[in-house]
Structure 1
Amino acid sequence: MRVRSQLVRRITATAAGLGLAAGAVVGIVGATTASADVRPTAATTSTAAVKKTVTIEATDWIIPVGAKVRYFGKTTGIAKNTTVQVQRLDGKKWVNFPATTKVTSKGTYSVYVKTSRLGKNFFRVAVAGVVTKQQALTITKN
């Protein structure tokens, strides 16, 4: 819209310049040059891609064996219904844990994890090529 109004102003200025110059070469060249100098503005350039991000939070950090913990968070730049995969650190490798969910229309997710592996476990979520920081979860005996 802004570029169009600039173009209209420049065309009007060109016409006025032509009329005032009464055909003088200098007036024609100056007015023509002004109308050709249309540069894109912030309104006309394409917007930059939104950076993909994901956060993670937990309802608890220490739970008894057999209990569930809920991981939840927010995403940006990630489409609705994209799969969120929970991962657990196994030795030095992150492996997919059997818990997934989908990104909601509000860009959030929520998923429950239940494990019987006693001691300190590390979990994270991966979605659309982005991973969260790790979360420690300690599983204790009843």
Structure 2
Amino acid sequence: MNRALRYAAVGMVTAALLAGGSAAAFAAPQQVHTPAAAVAAAPAKATLTAKASVTTVKAWQEFRITGATKGLKPGAKVTVQQKQGKKWVSLPAQAPVNAKGSYAIRVKLGIKGVNELRIASGGAVSPVVKVTVR
């Protein structure tokens, strides 16, 4: 390779590095990813709704919590959580999300008074549902 051609090649690589970083120097333009494209490809956060079939029950009387999901795959497990003091505790009540994105969970509570419940799956949680146990 002659000296003029080498200087021209080095000059083009240097200009590309200064203009757009190392990826721009060696990649074809369509292979360079921009931050805006990466943000647009990020999946949407999952959401959950919840509604209790009753507002008041006797201790250990069964009721249902139903709701819908967005962003969860069919078969994903949703779990009932109960507020105990300042902590949310997962109860042994789970159900899978169906093909339409909804769920129904059978629940029995023994702690008398107003119980605050929510549905959780992964990092998503539903709004709080209150059920009073007598």
Cα contact 1:78–1:128 (8 A) shared by 2: no
Which protein is bigger by CA-based radius of gyration? 1
Contact kept, 8 Å, 1:82 with 1:128, in 2: the verdict is no
1:114 corresponding residue in structure 2: 108
Q: Normalising by structure 1, report the TM-score.
A: 0.63
Listed as ranges, the gaps of 5+ residues in structure 2 are 1-36
Q: TM-score, normalised by structure 2?
A: 0.67
Moved more, 48-57 or 126-135: 48-57
Partner of 1:56: 50
Aligned mates of 2:118, 2:55 — CA distance in 1: 13
Following TM superposition, by how much is the alpha carbon of 1:66 offset from its aligned partner in structure 2, in angstroms?
A: 2.3
Counterparts of 1:52 and 1:116, CA distance in 2 = 30
User: How many pairs does the alignment contain?
Assistant: 97
Aligned equivalents of 2:43, 2:117: Cα separation in 1: 29
CA distance in 1, matches of 2:86, 2:45: 28
CA distance in 2, matches of 1:119, 1:47: 46
1:76 and 2:76 are equivalent in the alignment = no
Per-residue displacement from partner, 1:59-94 (whole Å, max 9, x unpaired)? 001111221110010001111111101100010000
